[in-house]
Copies of this chain bind each other. A is one copy, B any other.
């Protein structure tokens, strides 16, 4: 398989991106070609620093960079020779199976949607994240792609998120839930109530609503929300974890006894940090576009990039998008059948 990497996207590009890509090639024999797209001189310099040069690497020069704070739509429209747009073009033209970027999220979502288009049966793509919980790892989707979704978009996210959980996390029959304000069926807004109603007719392992209290309680493996809520929840969780880390550090530093205690227990803190480390989970994936599209976070370490490329390889190798198309067809048939079997009320004029 072939993968295109936006070598210039992210806070530590091209350094961390190139280093992570080189690491990934060492582990992933299935990658037969890896395009590093961006400023060729700078990419060459990074490769030179790392010493060896894998023959599967091909540098593709791009003269522009989409900055992290560029307005997405304009950036995609104007910076046609940006590393991000050029990397996506490689997938669009069929020369690569997947694209990875740690750059401007909005621009990546826009460019991937515009250039790759959606898969057959998918109306809108959605961003899926993996989040570690107590006893399971769950998919949160949509984490930021589609701001004003319709109920059917959420239902399609459930199908794609479920497949993602199966393929990447390895759950046989992932439990799917709609994120709402409470677990009761009647709780929610118009969007979630209607998505709930449709999901009950699907063949998914749908368990109903979940609220923020049970997020980490090993109740659901796929949690569906609109982009605004998904993004809010994702960032709120990350911020809380950071806050507690800061507070704990402050408190442990307050006297020598606590500091000595912390030293003895250092292994526990390290293990905790590893457990909560987003770099372990290989970034977010834009599901539903015609090509595998991975968004690593802006501050990605080489390890994060390596893991994101592992996810890309798993998706391509497992023919992930082909499965999405199949399942969407099944969903469509199932819903048509259910809706047509229900008695219809006809207006009598």
Of the candidate stretches A152-160, A246-254, A332-340, the one touching chain B is A246-254
| Bound CA–CA A229/B226 (angstroms) | 10
| Bound CA–CA A225/B237 (angstroms) | 17
Residues of B within 8 A of A106 (CB): 182
Q: Is A27 an interface residue (CB 8 A)?
A: no
Report the minimum CB–CB distance from A127 to chain B (whole Å): 11
| Bound CA–CA A147/B268 (angstroms) | 41
Q: Is A257 an interface residue (CB 8 A)?
A: yes
| Bound CA–CA A131/B175 (angstroms) | 32
- How large, as a class, is the contact surface on chain A? 35 or more
Number of chain copies forming the complex: 2
| Contact status A144-B181, CB under 8 Å | yes
| Contact status B236-A240, CB under 8 Å | yes
Contact of A237 among B231, B236, B272 (CB under 8 A): B236
Residues of B within 8 A of A181 (CB): 144, 147, 227-228, 231-232
Q: Is A30 an interface residue (CB 8 A)?
A: no
Q: Is A49 an interface residue (CB 8 A)?
A: no
Q: Is A317 an interface residue (CB 8 A)?
A: no
| Contact status A243-B133, CB under 8 Å | yes
Report the minimum CB–CB distance from A145 to chain B (whole Å): 11
Residues of A contacting B: mostly: helix
Q: Tell me the nearest residue of chain B to A251, going by C-beta.
A: B268
Task: List residues of A (217-268) whose CB comes within 8 Å of B's CBs.
Answer: 217, 225, 227-229, 231-244, 246-248, 251-252, 254-255, 257-258, 260-268
| Bound CA–CA A239/B215 (angstroms) | 7
| Contact status B147-A189, CB under 8 Å | yes
Contact of A247 among B225, B242, B257, B272 (CB under 8 A): B272
Residues of B within 8 A of A212 (CB): 231-236, 238-239
Contact of A241 among B182, B189, B211, B244 (CB under 8 A): B244
Q: Is A186 an interface residue (CB 8 A)?
A: yes
| Bound CA–CA A89/B179 (angstroms) | 35
| Contact status B238-A237, CB under 8 Å | no
Q: Is A276 an interface residue (CB 8 A)?
A: yes
| Contact status A265-B262, CB under 8 Å | yes
Q: Is A172 an interface residue (CB 8 A)?
A: no
A residues whose Cβ falls under 8 Å from a Cβ of B: 69, 71, 106, 133-134, 144, 147-148, 179, 181-182, 184, 186, 189-190, 211-217, 225, 227-229, 231-244, 246-248, 251-252, 254-255, 257-258, 260-269, 271-272, 275-276
12 A–B contacts from the bound complex (CB under 8 Å): A71-B186, A134-B243, A181-B231, A215-B240, A229-B232, A236-B236, A236-B237, A237-B239, A251-B272, A261-B268, A264-B264, A265-B265
